[in-house]
Amino acid sequence: MAGITGKDRTLTAYADTLERLDAPKGRSLTQDAMRRLIANRAALISIFLVTAIVLIAFVGSYFVPWDGTKVDWGAIRKPPNFESGHYLGTDQNGRDLLARLLQGTQMSLIVAGVATVVSVVVGVVYGAISGYFGGRVDALMMRFVDIMYALPYILFVIILVVIFGRSPVLLFVGIGLLEWLTMARIVRGQTLSFKEKEFVEAARAGGAKPFTIIMRHIVPNLTGPVVIYATLTVPEIIIVESFLSYLGLGVQEPLTSLGTLISNGAPVAEVLPWLLVAPAIVLVTLLLCLSYIGDGLRDALDPKDR
């Protein structure tokens, strides 16, 4: 050590500084999750396709030369034809299939989005309250969830339709009020583990009220599971809406949805195959992409669960 001069010490310190500056900076949890999500090619391609479908559905209708509710008497049951402007053909009533497909995709996405928001809000609040208070409150609230699980889904929808009539808003709320049950159970289980953590105990010792602890300390820590399940709920709601519309209990004329289009195209598939193929391709693409996105978010937000 005696042979090391002051100049050597200065150079060594300078080299250490450069090494620290060149070293990669620590990434946050959000950055790590984004990096894992981007590395997932299936999820990345699915995000691109879903974004494209949403943009085309909501923006493309302004560029289609036909209205989905107008009848072209000279082009009834016509196959796809670029010269006439009916790029995907027309239905039995002479209405442009492309315009109706865009409108149906809009309706299915709106139903899925609104119903998912309703199910997430109700499920998160209900499950967090049940898990935090525990005891008799938890037992009573979970028994209500069990009773709701036991009700036949179609019967519940039929009762709503008979009492309140057929309405898109009713469809949004009805589907959302049934899809929150699983969300409530997931949130309740997470809350049971979080309420014993140190940060919750510190908030409780500081005099914070139960509702404040739930909304400010527990719910923000549930973002990962909630986002993952919400993403997986969207395709499920699209399937439910399509099934109800297929049975005639969902979206009704003059409105349309992917389920309604498939319902109208299925009986004449042998004669007018384009009426079934086009909406079926869009529906299957949406469901597959949303499933891949949900799996990608699960792997990105919780890599230990892969």
Give the whole-angstrom CA distance, residue 113 versus residue 110.
5
CB 16 within 8 A of CB 268: no
Rounded CA-CA distance 288/65 in Å is: 30
- Mapped onto helix, strand or coil, the DSSP state of residue 167 is coil
178, 156 in Cβ contact below 8 A? yes
Contact 50, 289 (CB under 8 A): yes
Question: Tens digits of per-residue pLDDT, 75-113?
Answer: 777 888 777 777 888 888 888 888 899 998 998 888 888
pLDDT at 246 over 80: no
pTM: 0.77
Model confidence band, residue 1 (pLDDT cutoffs 50, 70, 90): very low
Q: What value does the mean pLDDT take over residues 240-263?
A: 78
3-state secondary structure of 226: helix
Letter string b/e over residues 279-297, b meaning 16 or more CB atoms within 10 A of that residue's CB? bbebbeebbebbbbbbbbb
Q: What is the pLDDT of residue 5?
A: 52
204 in Cβ contact with 133 (< 8 Å): no
- Taking the CA atoms of residue 40, residue 43, residue 47 and residue 52 in that order, the dihedral angle to the nearest 10 degrees is 110
Long-range Cβ pairs for the range 201-206 (8 Å, 24+) = none
Map out the domains of the chain with their CATH numbers: 31-69+90-305 (1.10.3720.10)
